[in-house]
Amino acid sequence: MACQAKALTLLLSILVVSFCKPSDGAGIAIYWGQDGYGGSLYDTCASGNYRFVNIAFLSIFGNGRNPRLNLEANCDPNAGGCTWLSNGITSCQKQGIKVLLSIGGRSGNYSLSSADDAIKVAYYIWNSFLGGHESSSFRPLGDAILDGVDFYIDTGSGLYWDDLARALHGFSGQRKVYLAAAPQCLFPDEHLDTAIKTGLFDYVWVQFYNNPRCHYSGDANNLLNGWKQSWIKVQANQVFLGLPAAPQAAGGFIPVDVLNSQVLPSINTSPKFGGVMLWNKYFDNEYSDGIILDGTKLISPA
């Protein structure tokens, strides 16, 4: 009897461990904050569909510029109107979902003018969004401490992003500062290659969109070749397939049944495959619900 009870306890703990560890296996990273109101961060994370949320974008920074967040219709960060997002960020983190600040974007105004400038920007990010304790700093997203920084550098030169990565990584102490990069799919990426080569990035989610030379366009040959020959080999803990969440979101949309049957089976074989990144929450009406990772279809709670 006692023995049976012990066996049952053991079985239950194995089940609990295998079902309750959100950091294992593949998952979905979503961009939030661009194009329109993407729903609250609380609801985004409560859907159960995502493992990473990138708050996009810190779109103006570097070279002496006054740094500015742009979260479009979601809230106005510059009048202090986004500090309430801290509650959503904390609720995401309680579910094991990592929340990153995404810097850059397609329509921002940003660049780094020197290694010193990179260090200045790193201190600004540390004090304004991460664990910095400089009490004089304004924190646009309130007191919540974000898990790290995502480099979505689409314009300008490739200079000094490696310095920024090293400086941000240098703040990892009691609490790790996670680093992510979103290079465009043509390899090597002109903006982020040097930074990625530092080996400091935990996650690289490749933008397989808005570039017909490497995104999906009726067939997945270019995408799969780029993935296998180059991207899966970059020095990062995990590599993600970045895709539009809807045809209107970006060029290179892959219908979800095609993704599940013709694309994911050829790329999810590597232990470095981290999952799928989606651009972006505003457009993700049902796409993430249909993605099959690790043989389990994601179904959001009703």
Ligand X SMILES: *[C@@H]1O[C@H](CO)[C@@H](O)[C@H](O)[C@H]1NC(C)=O
Applying CB under 6 A, which residues contact ligand X?
A: 63, 65, 109
* Residue placing its CB nearer to ligand X in the complex, 63 or 127: 63
* Residue placing its CB nearer to ligand X in the complex, 110 or 283: 110
The DSSP letter of residue 184 is: B
| Minimum distance from residue 268 beta carbon to ligand X (Å) | 41
| Minimum distance from residue 160 beta carbon to ligand X (Å) | 16
Nearest residue to ligand X by CB is: 109
* Residue placing its CB nearer to ligand X in the complex, 153 or 179: 153
Please state, in angstroms and rounded to a whole number, the distance separating the CA atoms of residues 177 and 292.
Answer: 29
List CB contacts of 84: < 8 A, sequence separation 6 or more.
Answer: 75, 142
| Minimum distance from residue 147 beta carbon to ligand X (Å) | 29
- What are the beta bridge partners of residue 277? 29, 242
How buried is 23 (Cβ within 10 angstroms: 0-12 exposed, 13-18 middle, 19+ buried)?
exposed
| Minimum distance from residue 197 beta carbon to ligand X (Å) | 28
Strands (E), the chain: 27-32, 52-61, 68-69, 98-105, 109-110, 148-153, 178-181, 203-207, 238-244, 273-279, 292-293, 296-297
Please state, in angstroms and rounded to a whole number, the distance separating the CA atoms of residues 281 and 40.
Answer: 10
| Minimum distance from residue 64 beta carbon to ligand X (Å) | 6
| Minimum distance from residue 106 beta carbon to ligand X (Å) | 13
The DSSP letter of residue 34 is: S
* Residue placing its CB nearer to ligand X in the complex, 65 or 106: 65
How do beta strands 148-153 and 238-244 pair? Answer: unpaired
* Residue placing its CB nearer to ligand X in the complex, 68 or 197: 68
* Residue placing its CB nearer to ligand X in the complex, 110 or 287: 110
| Minimum distance from residue 127 beta carbon to ligand X (Å) | 21
Q: 10 Å Cβ neighbour count for 124?
A: 17
* Residue placing its CB nearer to ligand X in the complex, 72 or 289: 72
| Token digits of residue 148 | 């790290």
